[in-house]
Amino acid sequence: MQFNPRYPSLNPKLYHHQMPAPLKGAKAGHFNAALADELQWSEQDQAQWVEICSGQKTFAKFEPLAMVYAGHQFGQWAGQLGDGRGLLIGQILDKHGQTIDLHLKGAGSTPYSRMGDGRAVLRSVIREYLAGHALNALGIASSNAVGFTSSTQGIQREKLEPGAMMLRTSDCHIRLGHFEWINQYQPDLLEDFVQKCIEWHYPECLEAEQPVLAFATQVIQRTAVMIAKWQLVGFAHGVMNTDNLNITGSTLDFGPFGFMERFRPNWINNHSDYQGRYTYQQQPSIGHWNLWMWLNNLIRLKKDPAEKEQFKEDLAKCLEHFEPTFLEHYTVGLCQKMGLPSFHKDSFDCGMAFLRILQTEQLDYTQSFIRLQNKQYETIKDDCLDRRQFESFLAQYESIRANQDTDALDAEMVKANPHYILRNHMAQKAIELAERDDYSEVERLFKLLSQPYLKQPDLEQPEDLGPLPSDVPEVMVSCSS
Ligand code: AMP
Ligand code: MG
């Protein structure tokens, strides 16, 4: 590994150095060898992946640390938070020279653990491991993980569960909530912190006339793109608190996430989200709200009152990029999924008409697009109670596609419509087996989700292709993990 320790160059008030506390009886879970290669892990490192992913081995070139941050949780100021159960144990260069954080989740309590035990259970680790992998393979910026380990140590949740650790990778663990902590508790650190964020993550902004405004605009745009991509694959993050969004617009902190099955935009996938703040359909507006909260923390960078007023207006203008960026990516992406030309004035409406059918008929989001792609129009219609609604959609759909280069449009569909997403019941089955030390289903899903846009008849199982029947109770996921 090639280390590039840069977080420790920040003011020590922003972190606490400590070593991981290994669990008893650590044992192999799953290892992502392709990612380890990408991160230039040597053969020796790879041979020691279990020790590394269980906190037994750390690196002389990086002293592990827990970061402090704050956040708004479910819309309320939550005060100081921080890495309560994770440690940054390395920053290393990948094959492309990009710095990647190695973050060990479940590594024991830290000064920021509050009431928590500093641990993670196997169930939540497997969900996060597979989801990060799935999103990466879908082409959505996200954290990933080199591997995870289980243990013989029981961790108390609603019941006693096996403790686990996961070595998460991300291009950035600096959260919107970092700025909230600094602004609230150590405002003198803000200027230097912002400067470092720009140098590390947006060096091109240093050339801009106003680097901070260029930086803010970039963060806003990348977040908007990430959320547009979530919407297109039906991903609901579940806990979009300001401490769970980072400044590079790559997905972070999977808890009670869900890939939507039947198209229900107001489906509550996180059972701790009593008011439905973080449903699928709310994600764009919550993203906007989070960024607005974030921008407020930058105002302090200007001291002079007149300059401050102008700066506030300029920051508000940066946020105006959010909606058009989101809409552009979402619209183009939806047209791609539909096999419609994005320049045609009626394409977006036609896409919306299709989504309305999925919603009223409660059809599976992922499979319905695959059926459309395969021209299985009769199959979709057969599943509709209101067949006339589908017929009128189809008439519009075919009229837009008439006289277009349908081969090119169809080729776009193949790249935009996954066959496989991580359905809750798929993850659940893998978890139940893993809790009995059988990782075969984790391995199968890992492989299947590596190429979600490719039909894999030899690997797939019927349950991968749709929701469970509606009389089977849903898998409940909540914040407890
Ligand atoms: P989350 O909503 O999972 O991102 O967690 C919110 C905050 O709670 C973060 O500061 C976490 O580090 C902390 N946290 C969550 N679970 C635990 C735990 N079991 N022990 C200590 N801290 C935790
Ligand atoms: Mg979090």
Is a pLDDT exceeding 80 seen at residue 394? yes
Q: Does the C-beta of 85 come closer than 6 Å to ligand 1?
A: yes
105: annotated binding-site residue? yes
Residues contacting residue 451 through CB under 8 Å, at least 6 positions apart: 137
Q: Does the C-beta of 478 come closer than 6 Å to ligand 1?
A: no
Tokens found for residue 441? 């289903």
CA atoms within 13 A on the CB side of 427: 26
User: Which of residues 117, 141, 174 is at a domain's end?
Assistant: 174
85: annotated binding-site residue? yes
411 and 433: one domain?
no
Tokens found for residue 344? 């045609």
Q: Report yes or no on 258 lying in a domain.
A: no
- The minimum-distance atom of ligand 1 relative to the CA of 81 is 10
- pTM comes to 0.98
Q: Relative to the alpha carbon of 175, which ligand is closest? A: 2
Distance from residue 113's CA to the centre of ligand 1 (Å): 7
Is a pLDDT exceeding 80 seen at residue 56? yes
Clarify whether 386 is annotated catalytic.
no
459 and 349: one domain?
no
| pLDDT reported for residue 311 | 98
In eight-state DSSP terms, residue 132 is H
Q: Give the mean pLDDT of 34-42.
A: 98
User: What's the chain's average pLDDT?
Assistant: 97
Q: Over the stretch 168-209, which tens digit does the pLDDT of each residue have?
A: 999 999 999 999 999 999 999 999 999 999 999 999 999 999
86: annotated binding-site residue? no
395 and 432: one domain?
no
Q: Give the mean pLDDT of 308-326.
A: 98
380 and 449: one domain?
no
Q: Relative to the alpha carbon of 112, which ligand is closest? A: 1
Is a pLDDT exceeding 90 seen at residue 227? yes
Distance from residue 13's CA to the centre of ligand 1 (Å): 20
472 pLDDT tier (thresholds 50, 70, 90): confident
Q: Does the C-beta of 256 come closer than 6 Å to ligand 1?
A: no
Q: Does the C-beta of 428 come closer than 6 Å to ligand 1?
A: no
Q: Report yes or no on 436 lying in a domain.
A: yes
φ, ψ for residue 19 (rounded to 5)? -95, 155
Q: Report yes or no on 251 lying in a domain.
A: no
Total domain count for the chain? 3
Q: Report yes or no on 389 lying in a domain.
A: yes
| pLDDT reported for residue 452 | 98
Q: Which amino acid type is present at position 309?
A: E
399-417: burial string, b at 16+ Cβ within 10 Å, e else: ebbeeeeeeebeebbeebb
384 and 428: one domain?
no
- The minimum-distance atom of ligand 1 relative to the CA of 239 is 2
Q: Report yes or no on 213 lying in a domain.
A: no
175: annotated binding-site residue? yes
User: Which of residues 416, 433, 456 is at a domain's end?
Assistant: 416
349 neighbors 244 (Cβ within 8 angstroms): no
372 pLDDT tier (thresholds 50, 70, 90): very high
Q: Does the C-beta of 71 come closer than 6 Å to ligand 1?
A: no
Is a pLDDT exceeding 80 seen at residue 476? no
Task: Mark out the alpha helices in 244-383 (DSSP H runs).
Answer: 283-296, 305-319, 322-338, 347-361, 365-373, 377-382
Question: What's the gap between Cα 406 and its chain centre?
Answer: 33
- The minimum-distance atom of ligand 1 relative to the CA of 241 is 2
104 and 135: one domain?
yes
Of 243, 273, 364, 383, the catalytic one is 243
| pLDDT reported for residue 474 | 78
Q: Over the stretch 398-419, which tens digit does the pLDDT of each residue have?
A: 999 999 999 999 999 999 999 9
431 pLDDT tier (thresholds 50, 70, 90): very high
108 and 146: one domain?
yes
| Poorest-pLDDT segment among 88-92, 227-231, 270-274 | 270-274
Number of other residues whose CB lies within 10 A of the CB of residue 240: 25
Q: Report yes or no on 44 lying in a domain.
A: yes
355 pLDDT tier (thresholds 50, 70, 90): very high
| pLDDT reported for residue 389 | 98
Spatial distance between the Cα atoms of 191 and 262, rounded to a whole number of angstroms = 47
Q: Angle CA(343)–CA(330)–CA(265) in degrees, nearest 5?
A: 130
Q: Give the mean pLDDT of 360-364.
A: 97
Question: How large is the C-alpha radius of gyration of the chain?
Answer: 23
Number of other residues whose CB lies within 10 A of the CB of residue 95: 10
102 and 61: one domain?
yes
| pLDDT reported for residue 471 | 82
446 and 396: one domain?
no
Q: Which amino acid type is present at position 31?
A: F
444: annotated binding-site residue? no
Residue 444 belongs to domain spanning: 424-464
Closest CA to ligand 1's atom 14: 84
Q: Report yes or no on 310 lying in a domain.
A: no
Q: Report yes or no on 192 lying in a domain.
A: no
Q: Does the C-beta of 118 come closer than 6 Å to ligand 1?
A: yes
447 and 336: one domain?
no
